[in-house]
Amino acid sequence: MFEDPFAFRVDRRPNNHLAFGVGEHFARLRASARLELEFAFKHLLPRIEEIELAGPVSRLHSALVRGVKRLPLRYRIKPAA
């Protein structure tokens, strides 16, 4: 896409790159993620009676993103009404 792609150039023109969180990837995944969160908050979370850690938490080791890589949980859900 770029001439000399491995050189860091702030003034690069045009700069039509695709980065994490923007561009076509962001637009495609955003709607799906919002639906999943809406479903969880409206339907799943109100039914959780008890929740606890079921093992060690593993964190991401990245200079760009802070987050959890693995979060084992044990939970009990109320029966559907």
pLDDT > 90 in the chain, percent: 28
**Cα 38 to the chain's mean position, in Å?**
14
1 pLDDT higher than 60? yes
71: confidence class by pLDDT, cuts 50, 70, 90: very high
CA distance 32 to 38: 10
What mean pLDDT is reported for the chain?
Answer: 81
> Which has more pLDDT, 38 or 10?
38
- Residue by residue, DSSP assigns 11-78 as T-SS-----TTSHHHHHHHHHHHHHHHHHIIIIIGGGEEEEEE-S--EE---SS---EEE--EEEEEP
